Amino acid sequence: MTKLKVTVVAGARPNFIKVAPILKAFQKAEIDFRLVHTGQHYDKNLSDTFFSDLNIPPPHINFNVGSGSQAEQTGAIMIAFEKELINNPTDYVLVVGDVNSTVACGITTKKQNVRLIHVEAGLRSGDMTMPEEINRLVVDRISDLLFTTTQQASYTLKAEGVEKGKIHLVGNVMIDSLIDSLPKVSRPQGIDINKPFFVLTLHRPSNVDEKNKILNTLKHISNQVGQKASIIFPVHPRTSTVLNNFPIPENLQMVAPLRYLEFIYLIKNSIGVITDSGGIQEETTYLGVPCITLRENTERPETIHLGTNKLIGNDFQKLGSCIKEILENRWKSGSIPEFWDGKSAERIAEKIKA
């Protein structure tokens, strides 16, 4: 019998974390895969270190598309991926998450009449100003197999008219990576963690593209944390460009983006996380670490209803009371959504084989 062939696409930091357990499960299930790196993230700190920390095999091809506007990046990936599919025919293409690589390869796949699999389907923020929301809607609409992280995401897809038989609730592959990595986490060198500390990450255009807005946010966070704790801020390249010449407050440590095993060490040992990331809302819920999300909406509502996450938008008064709650150890305790158990990738491999 010929082996099933799946082309797996990864392009950006959160993608690498999601494909790692899927590739392991494919190896175990004897599914033949070809890994395509689009080069959407090319910085060593956002790409290479994730391959080593998560034992991801080297990609079979890297398009090296680099940065550009939404259309430039999406277009460049589509052109390269069309050639890839012509040169390397496959049974399925599997895309994860909601980045430009996801939508570009998704559309190209369907136009080449190849079956498309979307992992992390059915997430909706309802916010059409987020590029990721557009990517999610388009990819889910054209996918043949849709793997969801939660019951809510499955309901959303059904409500949008996706055939029931295409949707499979498998849990969260990002949590597979987290569970697998917890015994291997390592304390980052050169960061002062002698005091209780918060971890801060910011990279969504709505928070970081306007210089005054991000400087104001950092000033408020720093003032409200005060001297009781420090703030460790691994700065995303998108964010670092607007922070040139910023007078860094004493309690804020700005560092380069961290490798995965170091970052997980930090959030696990922090008193709380302040973020606008999607994946970090999920990781903190799994770890039971308080999470303050600087967004008006989230596509991951379970982290709020069940988990340790609170949404505060840009409300600095709420930010102050949330930071106080964490400092006084009064944060809500949470629980972990169903199927976030480290076995999601295995479920995906089983379903694809079936």
Residues serving a catalytic function are 203
Asked whether position 342 contacts ligand UDP by CB under 6 A, the answer is: no
Which range touches ligand UDP (CB under 6 A), out of 21-29, 187-195, 218-226, 258-266? 258-266
Distances (CA, A) of 165 to 31, 139, 174: 22, 17, 24
Asked whether position 17 contacts ligand UDP by CB under 6 A, the answer is: yes
Which range touches ligand UDP (CB under 6 A), out of 259-267, 285-293, 295-303, 305-313? 259-267
Tokens for 273? Answer: 């996380």
Q: Which is nearer to ligand UDP, 31 or 139 (CB)?
A: 139
The helix/strand/coil state of 35 is strand
Asked whether position 14 contacts ligand UDP by CB under 6 A, the answer is: yes
| Least distance between ligand UDP and beta carbon 276 (Å) | 7
CA-CA-CA-CA torsion sign (185, 286, 347, 99): negative
**Interaction pattern, residues 304-333, with ligand UDP; x per rule: CB under 6 A:** ------------------------------
Q: Which is nearer to ligand UDP, 30 or 209 (CB)?
A: 209
CB 77 within 8 A of CB 100: yes
Asked whether position 283 contacts ligand UDP by CB under 6 A, the answer is: yes
Q: Are strands 145-148 and 115-121 parallel, antiparallel or unpaired?
A: parallel
Nearest residue to 102 via CA among 129, 64, 53, 140: 140
CA distance 44 to 321: 37
Q: Which is nearer to ligand UDP, 18 or 85 (CB)?
A: 18
Nearest residue to 311 via CA among 293, 335, 337, 288: 293
Task: Name the residues that contact ligand UDP, by CB under 6 A.
Answer: 13-14, 17, 174, 201, 203, 234, 257-258, 260, 263-264, 277-280, 283
